[in-house]
Amino acid sequence: MMFWEIGEYINSVVLGNKRADYGEKILPSLAAKLVLKYGNNFNAKNLYQMMLFAERFCDAAILPPLAAKLSWSHFIELLPLKSDEARLFYANNAAMHNYATKELRRQISRKAYERREISNIELTG
């Protein structure tokens, strides 16, 4: 939850929900200051991932139950997924079945969500 809160704070307060050039200039400077004070977990790459995390998991109501069962590594695996539905599907499955990060990665590479969607269409069609 802390990483989500940091990402949300940077997105809304520091960047004022603006992106592109402004964020590219601010993020490295902010990261350098945070690394000096708090360590390497706050480098620019990690800050960007925190921002993406807050952006892609914007429903704060569903996040606490997932965050209680999933690690930061799990969420990193989910960030590149294009759809909110796919992210939630994989997150919920990983939490429900206690997937390790490696198993979550395997489920994503096997396209479990997409295959489920195809079988649902075939069943209803």
pLDDT in tens, 11-42: 888 777 766 555 567 888 889 999 999 999 99
Q: What is the pLDDT of residues 78-106, one digit of tens each?
A: 999 989 999 999 999 999 999 999 999 99
Q: What CA–CA distance (Å, rounded) separates 61 from 65?
A: 8
Read off the pLDDT of residues 106-115 as tens digits, 9 standing for 90 and up. Answer: 999 999 888 8
Give the position of tokens 């599907």.
89
Whether residue 4 contacts residue 57, with contact meaning beta carbons closer than 8 Å, is answered with yes
Enumerate the domain spans of the chain. Answer: 1-56, 61-125
Is pTM beyond 0.95 here? no
Q: Taking the alpha carbons of 66, 74, 48, 86 in that order, is the dihedral positive or negative?
A: negative
